[in-house]
Amino acid sequence: MKAIHLTAYGDPLKNLQLLDIPEPSKPDVGEVIIRMEYSPIDPSDLLLAKGIYAIRPELPAVIGGQGIGIVEELGTEVTNVKIGDRVSLPFGTYAWSEKVKAKAAELFVISEELNVQQAAMIAINPPTAVLLLDEFVKLSAGDWIVINAANSSVANTIITVAKSRGIKTLGIVRRADAVHTALKAGADIVLVESETVVEEAKIATDNANVRLGLDAVSGEASGILAQILGLDSHLVTYAVLSLQPMVISAVDIIFKRITLHGFWMFLPQYLPKLHKAKEEAAKLIADGSLNVPIASIYRLDQIAEAVAHTEKGEKVLLSFE
């Protein structure tokens, strides 16, 4: 069968290769075999391929952090899924292979009413969005949050979940042509990063006490969020698109009493909460609220083109069919 192998850490364009590998062995107790359908290329996949992610599998290895497929074979003692079910893969089951073996107990069953391509992205961004909004500040309808990289696919999901709860979103983007993308996702206000953006944000939110900032960029962008945040607020960094250290004024941290957090959804304290977060996301996919723009779909033999497209900042899927 065909699979995409990471052959070395460094340049994903050179080191991700389509190869023929043996099919998975028969499923053991509590395991299933899944025929893959779709998998997105996420920023975390590229970080892993570059060797700068929290996980470093022994190479060569199949990678791919999430995806969906059809259950084709059951091991013994499997009761929560059946042959023919469409499922989302659990954490630690790498997706970029025509067939994969997974632990049945950790699968998330995708209902027939869900859009298949949107459901292929249910395992990472939606739980991230739900947990970012739940874990750090008690937010109520009418409260504001501020996020950067507001045109990204994960921001799209954060904005959608926030909107479903009546929470207002102030988005910061780095280019004028990205404003429309964030507004289309449902952000209440979108501003372009500039020397005056902090003052613009205060005016736009009527000097609201913004208590949650979500940072996907790092570098000086972190400091902008800190300046916009109010008293007793929380700044959560969950990605590092700039690959730069956070630059934040100590004045903001001291006098606003800002608490800094790092977030990774696969830490032990979050794992028990992922299923419920996916259930909330599934409802939003089902009613059409959560609809992340997909720029293109690529075959496995187009992995280089797919990676190059992803590095431009757009969401793409790999198709196994």
Cut 0.75: pTM above it: yes
Read off φ and ψ for residue 296, nearest 5 degrees.
Answer: -165, 160
C-alpha distance from residue 172 to each of 188, 256, 276 (Å): 11, 21, 29
Domain spans of the chain?
Answer: 2-121+292-319, 125-262
CATH class of 2-121+292-319: alpha beta
Distance CA 36, CA 22 (A): 15
The radius of gyration of the chain's CA atoms, rounded to the nearest angstrom, is 20
Average pLDDT, the chain: 96
Read off φ and ψ for residue 261, nearest 5 degrees.
Answer: -135, 150
The CATH superfamily holding the domain 125-262 is NAD(P)-binding Rossmann-like Domain (3.40.50.720)
Pairing of strands 234-237, 31-40: unpaired
Nearest CA-CA partner of 170 in 141, 145, 195: 145
pLDDT value for 321: 84
Domain 125-262 in the same topology as domain 2-121+292-319: no
**Residue ranges, the chain, pLDDT below 50:** none
- For the chain, helix, strand, coil in percent to 5 are 30, 25, 45
pLDDT value for 313: 86
